[in-house]
Structure 1
Amino acid sequence: MKELFYYQDSMMKQFRAKVIRTGINGERPYVVLSNTAFYPTGGGQPHDTGFIENLRVIDVEKIDDEIHHYIEGNINSLKEEVVGVLDWERRFDHMQQHCGQHILTAAFVELMDIPTVSFHLGSELVTIDLATEQVTDEQLALVEKRANEIILENRPVETKWITKEEIPNYPLRKDVSVDEDIRLVIIPDYDYNGCGGTHPTSTGQVNAIKILGTEKMKKNTRVSFVCGNRVLKQLAMRKNVLSDVARQLSVPEETAATALKKVLNEVKATEKALEDAQNHLIEYEAKELVANRTNNIVACTFENRTVQTLQKLGRAVVSQHSELICLFVANNEDKLQFIAARGVNVKKSMKEISTAILPLINGKGGGNDTFVQGGGEKSISAQDLLEEMKKNI
C-alpha cells in the first residue's frame, strides 16, 4: 500500500508501469499494473478516471490486493509497459473536497465538540452527517469562518504511516478502523485523522469552503458544502439564477428577494379570489342541476372535469336536499372518472354503485356509504357508464 504512486505522490498526473495481467469482470475488461496513480473508490472518495495509453479508464477499484483499472477498448492492444494519465481536473477536485471535509469536520469538533459520523463526496455537493439533531446558523457561520482561516494559513497537509502501537502518540480525531497499514493525514496542530484518501499538499490548495445548507437526517444533521473550484461553479450558477429572477421582476438584484415575496403574496391573493369565485360558480351550477333533477336523482356527464371538481359539485348538490342522489361521470383524456353521493336521508349505499360499475371500466375507487369516487378505462362511453350507475340505485 505504501508504495502505490497515489500515496507516494498525490500530485502525480502521469506515470509509467508494467502490465501485470488483464481480465474481465462480468462484461468489463480490466488491467492490473505493477503500480498506479489511479485512486480506487474508497473511504467516501470516488475513483479516478483518465487513460492508459489510448484506452479510457472508466472505473478503478481495489479487489483483495489488486487495483483493477476498468477500461473501454481492446485490452489486448496494450504493450508490456504503458503510460497512465489521470483526468487531473477530476482528481484535484476530489482532493480539494476531501481535504476540505477534514478541515470542516475538525472545525465542528474544535468549536462545538460535534463529531462527524459519515461523509459523502458527490459529483456536485459534498455532505457530512453530524452527530447532533440541530445546528444553528450562527454555529455554521463560525465553523465556516474557522475552516477558511485554516485554508488561508496554508498549513502543510502531511501523511504518515504508523503501526497500531504508535496510535497513542497522536491526538486522533476518531478511532482508526484498521490494524495494519495505518495512514494518517495530518494538518499540524489542527487535525490528525486516519485516512486512505488523496489530499493536496497544503490547505491553501483547497482554496475555499462554503456551506450551502443543512437537513435533518433522523437524529443527525446533514451539512452540504463545496470546496475549491466548486465554490466558483456554485457562485456562477447562483449568480445566473439571481440575475434571471431580477431581470424578470425588473428590479435590481439586491432587492429581488423582496420583490419576489411581493409577487408571491399577490399570486396567493389572486388564487384565493379565484378559488372563491369558482366555489360560487359551483354553488350556482349545483342549484341549476338540482332544479332539473329527475325523481330526486341528479345525473350528468361532463367533458374534462377533474375528479376534485366533481367531488365539490357533488357535495354542493346533496347539501341542498336531504333526499337527493348525485351521479357524475367525466370524460377526461384517456380515462373515465365518476362520483356518487347521497343526501343525509337516503339509505342507499354509494359503495354498492361503485362496486357494480368498476369492473365495467377495469377501474379503481374508494369512499364510503355516503360518497364514492373512482376511475378507469374508456371501455364504454361516459353516458353508458352513467346509465349503469342509475340502474344500481
Structure 2
Amino acid sequence: MAFQCQRDCYMKEFVTTVVSCCPAELKHEVNGKKETLKGFNVKLQDTILFPEGGGQPDDHGLIADVPVIRVTRQGPEAIHFVASPLAVGQEVQVKVNWERRFDHMQQHSGQHLLTALADTMFGFKTTSWDLGRQRSVIELDTPCMKPAQLQGLEEAVNEKIRAHVPVTVQLLSIDDPAVRSRGLPEDHAGPIRIIDIEGIDANMCCGTHVSNLSHLQVIKLLGIEKGKKNKTNLIFLAGNRVLKYAEKSYSTERAMVSILKTGPDEHVEAVDKLQKSVKLLQKTNLSLLRDMAVLIAKNFENNPQKGNFFSLHKKEGDNEFMNIIANEINTEETLVFLTVGEDKGPGLFLLAGPSRSVAEMGPWVLKMLKGKGAGKNGRFQGKANSLAQRAEVEVFLQQAPWSIEI
C-alpha cells in the first residue's frame, strides 16, 4: 500500500486508529553506544510517519503525544516502535517532526535531480547514495570527475531549481510495462511509486519528495572523494542544509578573524605563518630539552652524595628526553626512575638500571602506574594511564630488597 506520508508528503498531522500494539525490543544506538530498548511495536490504520527505505531514514514524530523512536516497514505495513503502550482501537493524532521530514525530502529530491543530470550530461550512472546527518553522498560509476564537470553540474541543477520544475508521483501496477521490477524488495506489496521530475527524470522510489524543484531552494556540491572499486563519491547539500552550512562557515570565519586579527582573505597565509612558527618553536624546545637532559644527568653524576637511586618527574618531555638522561648516568650502579606527563594524569615512564633489578621491578612499576610497556637489557619503559601513584613507586623502588644488591 502507499502510506499517507507517500500520498501527501507535506501533511504534518493526521488522525488514524491503532490496529495493534505488541511488546517488542529495539537495538538502538545512543551517543555511539548500542543499547537494547524495551517498548512496543504499534501498527496504525495508516501513517504519515515514513518507514525507512530507498536510502531515506525514517521519520520521527508523535502518536498521541508518545514519541516514536523508530519506524520500519514490514511488507505492506509500517511498524512504529514506541516506549509506552497504546490502546488497540484508540483514535490517535499522529504528528511528524517536520524539520527532519522536510530535510529528508530536500536531500532525496536533490539526489534524484543530481543523479539524472550527472547521467544526462556526462554519462555518470549512480550506483548508490547515502542520506547522512550532515551531508549526503552519491556514488557515481566513474573513476574521476573534473572540476569543470563539477561546476557545470552544480550550475545545471540550480538552473532547474530556478525554473520551478514540477515533481509528481505516479502509482502504477507492478505488471505495468513502464515498471522495472528489478530492485524491488522481496516483500513489496501494493502499487509502484514513480517520482517524475517533469522532463528530467522518472524513477521508482518509495521516499518522500518535494512537489516542485523550487522547494529545494539551492544545491551546493561540496566536492568529490575517491570511492570504492574505481568509483567517485559526490558530496552535496540541499535546501536548508546549505543555509546552515553558510551560517556555520560565517561563524567560524568571524571567530578566525578575532583570533588571527586578519581579514578572511588572509586567513590561509596567517595560519601558514603560525604553523611555521610553531614548528620552529617545537624544534627549539626539543633542542633545549635535550640539553637539559644532559645537564640533569651530569649534575647527578657529579654529586658526591648521589647514592644509587635517581628519580625525576617533568611535565614536559618525551621518551627521548628520558633516554638521554638514562644514557648519561651509569645505570650499572644506579637505578633510574623517570616520568613525564601530568602530575596525576597519563604519561610516560622509564626504569633503567642493573638488568636483574629492572627485570624484577619493571612489572611491579607497570602495575602501580596502570600502564602498558615492556623491557629488556636493563630498560623498562611504557605508557602510564595514571601517574598519581608516582610517589608510592619511588618508595617501592627504594625499599625493595633487590635494590640493595645494586
The alignment's TM-score, normalised by the length of structure 1, stands at 0.80
Residue 194 of structure 2: SS of its match in structure 1?
Answer: strand
CA–CA distance in structure 2, aligned partners of residues 280 and 287 of structure 1: 11
CA contact (8 A) 1:339 1:372 kept: yes
Per-residue CA deviation, residues 325-377 of structure 1 (Å, 9 max, x unaligned), is 773233852689642458xxxxx758x72454314652632244374313588
- Measured after TM superposition, the shift of residue 232 of structure 1 is 0.5
CA–CA distance in structure 2, aligned partners of residues 81 and 122 of structure 1: 34
Aligned to 2:215: 205
Residue 229 of structure 1 aligns with an amino acid whose one-letter code is N
CA contact (8 A) 2:223 2:234 kept: yes
Aligned to 2:244: 233
Aligned to 1:121: 131
Residue 381 of structure 1: SS of its match in structure 2?
Answer: helix
Matched, 1:49 2:23: no
Aligned to 1:369: 377
Matched, 1:15 2:14: yes
Cα-Cα RMSD: 3.7
**Pair 1:355–1:189, CA change in 2 (3 A):** farther
CA–CA distance in structure 2, aligned partners of residues 149 and 293 of structure 1: 85
- Measured after TM superposition, the shift of residue 30 of structure 1 is 4.0
- Measured after TM superposition, the shift of residue 28 of structure 1 is 1.8
- Measured after TM superposition, the shift of residue 311 of structure 1 is 4.0
Residue 185 of structure 1: SS of its match in structure 2?
Answer: strand
Residue 199 of structure 2: SS of its match in structure 1?
Answer: coil
**Pair 1:74–1:17, CA change in 2 (3 A):** same
**Pair 1:277–1:288, CA change in 2 (3 A):** same
**Range moving further from structure 2, 134-143 or 221-230:** 134-143
CA contact (8 A) 2:150 2:223 kept: no
Matched, 1:329 2:338: yes
Matched, 1:161 2:168: no
Per-residue CA deviation, residues 182-219 of structure 1 (Å, 9 max, x unaligned), is 33222233333221101011211111111234444544
CA–CA distance in structure 1, aligned partners of residues 78 and 135 of structure 2: 27
Residue 286 of structure 2 aligns with an amino acid whose one-letter code is E
**Pair 1:72–1:334, CA change in 2 (3 A):** closer
- Residues 68-87 of structure 1 mapped to structure 2, 5 A cutoff: 68-71=79-82, 73=84, 75-76=86-87, 80-87=90-97
- Measured after TM superposition, the shift of residue 103 of structure 1 is 1.6
Q: How many residues are matched?
A: 380
Aligned to 1:145: 155
CA–CA distance in structure 2, aligned partners of residues 221 and 319 of structure 1: 56
Matched, 1:193 2:203: yes
Aligned to 2:394: 382
- Measured after TM superposition, the shift of residue 97 of structure 1 is 0.9
**Pair 1:21–1:254, CA change in 2 (3 A):** same
Residue 124 of structure 1 aligns with an amino acid whose one-letter code is Q
CA–CA distance in structure 1, aligned partners of residues 334 and 276 of structure 2: 40
**Pair 1:222–1:321, CA change in 2 (3 A):** farther
Matched, 1:358 2:363: yes
- Measured after TM superposition, the shift of residue 85 of structure 1 is 2.9
Residue 259 of structure 1 aligns with an amino acid whose one-letter code is A
The alignment's TM-score, normalised by the length of structure 2, stands at 0.78
**Pair 1:313–1:191, CA change in 2 (3 A):** same
**Pair 1:333–1:65, CA change in 2 (3 A):** same
- Measured after TM superposition, the shift of residue 227 of structure 1 is 0.8
Residue 5 of structure 2 aligns with an amino acid whose one-letter code is Y
Per-residue CA deviation, residues 299-346 of structure 1 (Å, 9 max, x unaligned), is 41113456x63543323552798988773233852689642458xxxx
Unaligned runs of at least 5 residues, structure 2: 26-37
- Which of 309, 315, 325 is matched with 2:324 structurally? 315
- Measured after TM superposition, the shift of residue 162 of structure 1 is 3.7
